[in-house]
Amino acid sequence: MIINLSEIMSVKGKVEHIQAPIELKYFSLEGNDYSFSEKSLVDLTITNLGERSVKIEGDAKVSLLIPCNRCLEDVETFFKLKITKDLDLNYGSEDRIKELDETNYINGYNLDVDLLVYDEILVDFPMKVLCDEDCKGFCKVCGTNLNKSSCNCEAPDPDPRMSVIRDIFNNFKEV
């Protein structure tokens, strides 16, 4: 959703409260698309600070279905987004590039709520997602999900070059 800030910018000190829907169908990252299982409205408060500056405050709750890093089962991952941004609209796109300002969600007087939400999820996106701390993953030979059933595959022979290190760990298990 695009919010035009020109009306808010017309009066210094003006405060506008807006509830905007998240129109993103999925969250894309590094070639993967993660679907939303829940999206709340983005509750925004936009304040004109004067001199072409605005303060954006807001919050939203979303949850994504992200595959477990071990067994690839979808895990519902919750994000409670807390948005606080101070924007200076005196900067043009060239000035923002020079200042390394990464406000890609603002274009002139238009605020793109979906890009704002995308950036907030990106900052909070987990490095690793597990369905359970004790997730067994899947068999490297046959691909069976070891959380759901076991398989009769033989355990691969350990690398003989690692035998010395294995002996050290076996002798000092209490450490």
What Å distances lie between residue 110 and 7, 13, 86, CA to CA? 11, 19, 15
d(CA 38, CA 9): 33
* pLDDT at residue 91 in the model: 65
**Mean pLDDT throughout 3-17?**
84
Task: Please say whether the beta carbons of 71 and 133 come within 8 A.
Answer: no
Beta strands in the chain (DSSP E): 2-4, 15-20, 26-29, 32-39, 42-50, 53-67, 74-88, 106-107, 110-112
Kindly report the pTM of this predicted structure: 0.77
What are 123-150's pLDDT values in tens digits?
999 999 999 999 999 888 888 888 898 8
DSSP code at position 129: -
What are 30-58's pLDDT values in tens digits?
899 999 999 999 999 999 888 888 899 99
Residue 71 has pLDDT above 70, yes or no: yes
What are 79-109's pLDDT values in tens digits?
999 999 888 777 666 655 555 556 778 777 8
Task: Please say whether the beta carbons of 99 and 91 come within 8 A.
Answer: yes
Mean pLDDT of the chain: 85
Task: Please say whether the beta carbons of 27 and 34 come within 8 A.
Answer: yes
* Annotated domain spans of the chain: 2-124, 136-175
